[in-house]
Amino acid sequence: MARIDRIAEPWGSRTPYGPGETWPTRVDSYLADGLTEEQIDRWVQSASILHSNGDGLDIAVKDDRIVGVRGRAVDRVNHGRLGPKDLFGWQANNSADRLTRPLIRRDGELVGTDWDTAMDAVVGTVKRLLEEQGPSAIAFYTTGQLFIEDYYTLGLIAHGGIGTNHVDGNTRLCTATAAAALKESFACDGQPGSYTDVDHADVIALYGHNVAETQSVLWTRILDRLAGPNPPKLLCVDPRLTPVARAATVHLAPRPGTNVMLMNALLHEIVRNGWYDRDYVDAHAVGFDALKTQVEKYPPEVAAEVCDVPADQIRAAARLVGTAERLLSTVLQGFYQSHQATAAAVQVNNVHILRGMLGKPGCGLLQMNGQPTAENTRECGADGDLPGFRNWNNDAHIKDLARVWNLEQIQIPHYAPPTHAMQIFRYAEEGSIRFLWIIGTNPLVSLPELRRIRSILGQERLFVVVQDIFATETTEFADVVLPAATWGEKTGTFTNADRTVHLSEKAVEPPGEARPDMDIFLEFARRLGLEDKDGAPLVKWSDPEGAFEGWKECSRGRPCDYTGITYDKLRGGSGIQWPCSEDNPDGTERLYADGAFWADPDHCEEYGRDMVTGAPVAAVEYRAMNPDGKAILKAAEYLPPIELPSEEYPLLLTTGRTLYHFHTRTKTGRAPQLQAAAPEVWVEMAPTDAADRGLGEGDLLEISTPRGRVEARLRISGIRPGVVFLPFHYGYWDAADSGTGRAANELTITAWDPVSKQPLFKTAAAAVRRLARADGVSTPAPTTTASAPVTGSLPPTRGGHDAEAGELLPAGGQA
């Protein structure tokens, strides 16, 4: 059989199947240099880390180098299939430009050093700041690509050892709304559904979720259902004509920023037509009357005017989800990265609560994650949550965590919610945070309004540590750079978007002096001398399995209970879904069967927030509203976007992902097949918008907002009129001309959803103009206005500041 080109055909061949049947196995593999499986020295068990699907795979090793991958046929997630990033992304491990030794800033330049010198500078600075200002001067900004063992160790050190509340990750940019929406509706995080719901559903609704590009193997599963008997119907909500939209029974393309209006109209029709389970709602939910009153204001005609979607299409979509016998709904960034992100995502939850479609095959709800281990940041306390889904506003939960860590309760900060990423950078901007440790992420491409982020990280008074596997735009602003091991070079566990826990074994040694992340954290804790209340070392483990056992104890009795999982249990077979304990030793496929929720006031993770202001709901208020721990139907009023088109900026800019890259391309940009598939940034525009402006395919455009400009070639696509799209992956580390702006986040706005605190990447007022035609003929440029500053090139990094321990300007000093 001829080998399929998995760049040209990213989802591979079809293996059709029908409702209730098992998804057939198809094992995908890729080996470098024409190798055959017989030539491989060993296969090492793992799972993919370049998306949130969690595809089980084995790593091929020859001569102590990674040389390929093969899908695991036994794994429940992918049944052997791999996507393009799985097949080719591993090549970044072998890249010649890996960071292999620590770097430290001397005379304004980063130079090589040894681990003792680097850690002396890091630890010395932390000790001095703790003496001068206390824990609030210290912050950690981490990633969605580490392992449980790394996150839990860091969470213990930061929250329990140092006592800082400033711990969050870049998961704030992609998965924060998933957690927030689940906590608003069920008072606790945890995805109710399972990927196996695809096997049973008769309707699949995808809200702002371009699954074909963000989770290509899950889309393969859907495609195989569509190719089989009795296929499901699809609802797609997306302003772009994506592969999902092309396959949809109903495609709604609303104006960006109008998702709450659209969802309220769908709920209006569901309630008006009686397409809900009143018995289920009465028995298992609170808030129906308030929701009913709210959605009465949003008939399809009202939504059609605001969303610019025909009322008949809205009704057709409502009928699809309102009359489905087995409804699976998924939600992702199209809803999450907007000004009413949580409010919109909660309305999707409301559909399932109203219809009683939870905890049964095909009746799934997945508030999706964007990163491979985003779920673990939330579980383990390495983002704006406490470990084990404990409630920061419940003293009994803090007392229990103090017991697990053998600390005094007062040592664990819980005077306010843990600080979210956007606030961390604001505190750094204002000068109260003086030490920022950035781990496995590249905020100088991924955060909004990059000119501002460069200004923050460029301050002399801020000591910046960057822990990564490659030099990036962000390492250029570091005082110390720590070289880390990555996937395949260390052992650990991680959990995908449907709660499936995988073990990833160490396959090869890291390059040079690079170290596993957990080992770096352990060395940091040892040098700081962190102790428990009895004077013993705070961190009790020294290897990944020991850390996992520590995490299991922390999770005991909590919703995300891991106590029934061991490394040995994960070896050889499939991943296992939590909760997994003595009561359910094989894991739990779906949550909330029979209307049993984790919403009891004494057990829940959060009491909820005001949907407009984000203010936390008080414990007494929650107890009065939901004393029996039922699901919560939470209504939301539509509010217009923060930034609307104007005469100067007549378009709406939205940003997103492409199938072939992950985040800021530090890995995928070094995989030849992936980089060749999407080598440069582009901008998408509707045919009518292009025609009105006399623009043609391939023209070089300048895209500007009040914050900056970028340049990109035009692709005329099926995006809705009035909207332009830029992929956000492209920065400057590999740019031939670093003076040309090409990072989409030069243009995005510093604002966030009030509940989840997730930044807004989907709505910004924008303008375009042609710089040159596709044939290379230039267009004269007008004078640049102050409202659209020329940005994009990396400015000078820190000058003259050496990274000696404690060499800091006063908090009020001029950067």
Is the confidence at residue 739, as pLDDT, over 80? no
Residue 398: what pLDDT?
Answer: 97
Residues 380, 385: Cα–Cα separation, whole Å: 8
Distances (CA, A) of 196 to 372, 593, 691, 739: 19, 15, 45, 48
Alpha-carbon radius of gyration of the chain: 25
Q: What confidence category does residue 345 fall into, taking pLDDT thresholds of 50, 70 and 90? A: very high
Q: What confidence category does residue 777 fall into, taking pLDDT thresholds of 50, 70 and 90? A: confident
Cα–Cα nearest to 477, from 486, 468, 485: 468
Domain with CATH 3.40.228.10 in the chain: 176-368+598-632
Count of residues making up the chain: 815
Residues facing 582 on adjacent strands:
none
Q: Indicate the CATH number for domain 2-95.
A: 2.20.25.90
Residues 351, 319: Cα–Cα separation, whole Å: 12
Residue 741: what pLDDT?
Answer: 85
Q: How far apart are the first and last CA of the chain?
A: 63
| Amino acid, res. 340 | Q
Please report the DSSP string for 326-380 in residue order: SEEEEE-HHHHTSTTHHHHHHHHHHHHHHHT-SSBTTB-EEE--SSTTHHHHHHH
Token duo for residue 746: 């030069």
Domain with CATH 2.40.40.20 in the chain: 651-782
Residues 345, 368: Cα–Cα separation, whole Å: 11
Residue 776: what pLDDT?
Answer: 80
Q: Indicate the CATH number for domain 103-174+373-594.
A: 3.40.50.740
Is the confidence at residue 769, as pLDDT, over 50? yes
Q: Which of 2-16, 340-354, 395-409, 568-582 has the lowest mean pLDDT?
A: 2-16
Residues 668, 678: Cα–Cα separation, whole Å: 10
Residue 784: what pLDDT?
Answer: 35
Residues 546, 612: Cα–Cα separation, whole Å: 43
Please calculate the CA angle 634-254-270 and round it to the nearest 5 degrees.
Answer: 45
Residues 365, 26: Cα–Cα separation, whole Å: 26
Helix axes 300-307, 311-323, angle to 10 degrees: 120
- Using a 10 angstrom Cβ sphere, with 0-12 exposed, 13-18 middle and 19 or more buried, the burial of residue 64 is exposed
Q: Which residues contact 370 (CB under 8 A, 6 or more apart)?
A: 52, 144, 171, 173, 174, 175, 214, 332, 333
Q: Which fold is adopted by the domain 651-782?
A: Barwin-like endoglucanases (2.40.40)
Q: Which helix (H) or strand (E) holds 769?
A: strand 764-772
Question: φ, ψ for residue 309 (rounded to 5)?
Answer: -130, 135
pLDDT, tens digit, 9 for 90 and up, residues 104-138 = 999 999 999 999 999 999 999 999 999 999 999 99
Residue 736: what pLDDT?
Answer: 57
Q: Where are the alpha helices (DSSP H) in 564-678?
A: 567-570, 619-625, 672-677
Residue 649: what pLDDT?
Answer: 98
Token duo for residue 300: 């399809």
pLDDT, tens digit, 9 for 90 and up, residues 621-660 = 999 999 999 999 999 999 999 999 999 999 999 999 999 9
Is the confidence at residue 289, as pLDDT, over 90? yes
Q: CB 195: neighbour CB atoms within 10 A?
A: 27
Residue 133: what pLDDT?
Answer: 97
| Amino acid, res. 300 | P
Domain with CATH 3.40.50.740 in the chain: 103-174+373-594
Percent with pLDDT over 90 in the chain:
91
Domain with CATH 2.20.25.90 in the chain: 2-95
In words, the CATH class of domain 176-368+598-632 is alpha beta
Is the confidence at residue 334, as pLDDT, over 50? yes
pLDDT, tens digit, 9 for 90 and up, residues 559-570 = 999 999 999 999
Q: Which helix (H) or strand (E) holds 656?
A: strand 651-656
Cα–Cα nearest to 147, from 521, 431, 535: 521
Residue 807: what pLDDT?
Answer: 37
Please calculate the CA angle 795-757-788 and round it to the nearest 5 degrees.
Answer: 35
CB 749 within 8 A of CB 764: yes
Residues 597, 556: Cα–Cα separation, whole Å: 17
Residue 778: what pLDDT?
Answer: 76
Strand 56-62 vs strand 65-71: parallel, antiparallel, or unpaired?
antiparallel
Q: Which residues contact 124 (CB under 8 A, 6 or more apart)?
A: 804, 805, 806
Residue 146: what pLDDT?
Answer: 97
| Mean of the per-residue pLDDT values of the chain | 94
Q: CB 180: neighbour CB atoms within 10 A?
A: 29
Helix axes 115-132, 517-528, angle to 10 degrees: 50
CB 353 within 8 A of CB 633: yes
698: left (phi over 0), alpha (psi -120 to 50) or beta: left
Distances (CA, A) of 416 to 162, 182, 385, 610, 616: 16, 20, 11, 16, 10
Is the confidence at residue 691, as pLDDT, over 70? yes
